[in-house]
Structure 1
């Protein structure tokens, strides 16, 4: 009897471990690509009759001195223009600098940008409409995209803010890093630009092929502060005073991409 009870307890103990064992072997779902380009959006870099210049904003590498100064600050510094200015500075140390003290005011700067949301809008701005009336036709009529006139698509900040150009650079760098899309605050679609993808207009219908320039809506917070360079003997460090933060948003067009929408209608739109 005792032997049977022992066997039963062993079986129950084994069964209690089975769910956790199976759960451990369950396949882990991969995270969806957050900024995946939808099929209705096409790259027109080769077809674009206007050659857009690539928006090249590489991350500026700080010098050894700049790294030490940035690391000495209690507030994060990522403004490329401020980093460039610090890179161009040189401070010579002296063995006889005991008791030496100096404070250099470098001005008020936007110090860093912290992103809270990055949202693509694949139909940010309408740029073209191709149209054909097939109401008298007996067979489907094929149309494709042809840009009728040159179109300049501009983005920008959603509110007035101090040092706007410096803030735009930080927001652009952040959005490009998050989306891996070719972003710029201005892009041009040249007249005569084409795409070979065909859309069929059924008989007795009007066909409309709409083209849109995609854009990215970037939202976050920019931090400002008064920057002081402190020199005490052989020590060099940065002090930030009067730190303030401000919410900001921006629309940033996607270069050389077009989003398409097709509609067939019995009546004019």
Structure 2
């Protein structure tokens, strides 16, 4: 009986060993992909280029870029004369089902104002549900609460007399004057904001100059120089606008 138990024990140990050394089918890479990736890595040679290639693959795996965009990105990485590897990699992606959907490309290039919502579900007079075939852009940073409360399905659409493209709307002379007035007010608001920003930047400098003049106790004329980083482009443009033809002289 003791002799019969020993072979059974050895057989169990051998089975255990075979289980430990068996590769995980979920992480096993097919031989074709392994060979191709090995040749691509050897062709890239430089470690930084291989790192860029892996980053592009990661973007594609997260569905942040399409197959066409992936091929366009990695084509700049491959050295001259190795276009055959790029074509082979593209064929491999296509054979594994990584094909671009032309319908999705059409959706993303179409503004919402041109989508036909006449047959879509309506919850209120102004809100329509996006078509079922409309692709939802990936968003990897959303939490469970974001997915529960944020709206990715319903959009507001114009109704009645507003149900046409704004750029094609016909305007009479009074509406033209109204739009021009709004544009002028917007431009004036931008000028006021830039002037206020320039004043906020210049006031501390003026106080500092006045303090230096008082502390000297003399009427000596100082020549002050500002660092280039003290005033940005917005401040300089505001000063030049205020002084007109003498703006360049003031800035110097």
> What is the TM-score normalised by the length of structure 2?
0.18
Q: Which has the higher contact order (CA 8 A, sep 6+)?
A: 1
Which one has a larger percent helix, Structure 1 or Structure 2?
2
Which one has a larger percent strand, Structure 1 or Structure 2?
1
> What is the TM-score normalised by the length of structure 1?
0.17
Higher radius of gyration, 1 or 2 = 2
